[in-house]
Structure 1
């Protein structure tokens, strides 16, 4: 278990263009992993120093260019409870478990999701063996999928496995054998058969629930490689396409943000594809019905490969499109 007395110290220099902004707003833009509400609480608790002096007012106007130090205490969540939730187990041994997660299943506990999560399910299935692995908030979890993204996910059963897998995911396959690939149904058809989106991602200052592509020099590095699998609709005016994405980084909503950034948002995406709803008029009645029934982004984690921490063997797994996406594809293939 992590030491509850240990706090994380963050240091950041505010950009000069932040001059005149509120302290909490400037810090939220500079530190996308902390919400503005969390930053306000830390300021009021005396955990923030601005230019070497204690800051106690979240609304204080900053000059821009100041050095900021933030002491972030570790979270103190309620210990998650084990729950008997069915799991689609692809592989399991004494060290790890690979799950094919259905859409709708939340991975981690959080506001509004204290029960019914993958963590709750794993604690029950693994009968307490995950206790302490990765901390009480996310025992055994080394990566995540959005609630409404389906597909493959691995969790560790012991500390050694957790550290080994966490290092592989932190490396993103640059020097090791980790592979992650996703299938996404997107609006329109890219002009090229394959390409790379290399664009930093940051939290959207206008909507804290969203991420966005930020200006060069801001945000966190994000790289997505994609290739066109097939397109749907008339050859001269295709409506949608199926693409395969592989990740070189692992940012929040990365594929969804990057595909929207290049003008091809994921079908059914409630955050990044809302401006493309009118395109559904080009679908058949059946395709429209199936897209509406999908009620989620059309994104599936289809491939996962990594080195087994104990044996050194390369484990590779593939997951077919779930029924809701398969049926949507079938209706799109019938467009003419």
Structure 2
């Protein structure tokens, strides 16, 4: 018998059934969800979304008996896993898309003991099943906020990284920069990194990695400009270096020439990403709201 769950209004609704006869979990799920493909049902089980008598399971052959309550929930992770500085925007068998706050490292070194986005997501997926893992597809600087993609297998990670240019159709940022910018434009240069991990820009072809940044002026006032920035390439610190090259460093970016920090953070936000899903081929787009501090002071 299928029925609606009795949940509070702020809790995601889910499907549930009462078992009528002895069976196994996967066999039961196939029977009660005939409209879904067998692979889709297996994916729901694999992600830990199946709960039997309030206990999550990922085992296809777990025994069910009459009277057992089987539920399908949005996500099931250990209550001890508290995600800090990030939220999950999307999750499936292949990917996890997150919205990262400024100040959180994407991924640290082996010696890095700070909590990172990678470490938190690893704890999250392993609370569902100990064999689960995540793999970072691309990074955001610690002080850059916004949308990031993680893969749930090495194969998916490598597929996305190798096909990045073809797969990613949009990768846009919102940047708060110093000074008044009057025109939209594009800047192209070649980036290299020195021994102090500073990135440097050169106009000489092939002198480093080619970097192309497009920018559009959204708003200006007497001290700042708000830009929408799109990347053809994703080099380390690319936007930060290019804004410095233009004489309009990103607000709060002391490393690359900023002299003011009126918003108490780096004025760079990964606003949106649009890409072709590596397995389904479906075009997906995820967007993160622009921080209020970026738009304060503009009419």
Whether 1:195 and 2:185 are equivalent positions in the alignment is yes
Quick one: distance in 1 between partners of 2:125 and 2:234?
Answer: 27
- Equivalence for 2:136: 141
Whether 1:223 and 2:205 are equivalent positions in the alignment is no
Quick one: distance in 2 between partners of 1:317 and 1:129?
Answer: 28
Quick one: distance in 2 between partners of 1:130 and 1:199?
Answer: 40
- Equivalence for 1:153: 148
Quick one: distance in 2 between partners of 1:251 and 1:199?
Answer: 11
RMSD: 2.1
Alignment of 1:83-122 (within 5 A): 84-86=82-84, 87-110=86-109, 113-122=112-121
The answer for unaligned runs of 5 or more in structure 2 is 1-79
Whether 1:246 and 2:240 are equivalent positions in the alignment is no
Structure 1 position 299, deviation (Å): 0.3
Alignment equivalent of 1:304, drawn from 273, 276, 284: 273
Q: Deviations along 1:184-217, whole A, 9 cap, x unmatched?
A: 000112231x111001111146xx1311112514
- Equivalence for 1:286: none
Structure 1 segments of 4 or more deviating over 6 A? Answer: none
- Paired residues of 2:226 and 2:294 also in contact (CA < 8 A): no
Q: TM-score, normalised by structure 1?
A: 0.60
- Paired residues of 2:244 and 2:257 also in contact (CA < 8 A): yes
Q: Higher helix proportion, which one?
A: 1
Q: TM-score, normalised by structure 2?
A: 0.66
Paired positions, count: 215
Question: 245-254 or 111-120: which moved more?
Answer: 111-120
Alignment of 1:1-150 (within 5 A): 84-86=82-84, 87-110=86-109, 113-127=112-126, 128-131=130-133, 139-150=134-145
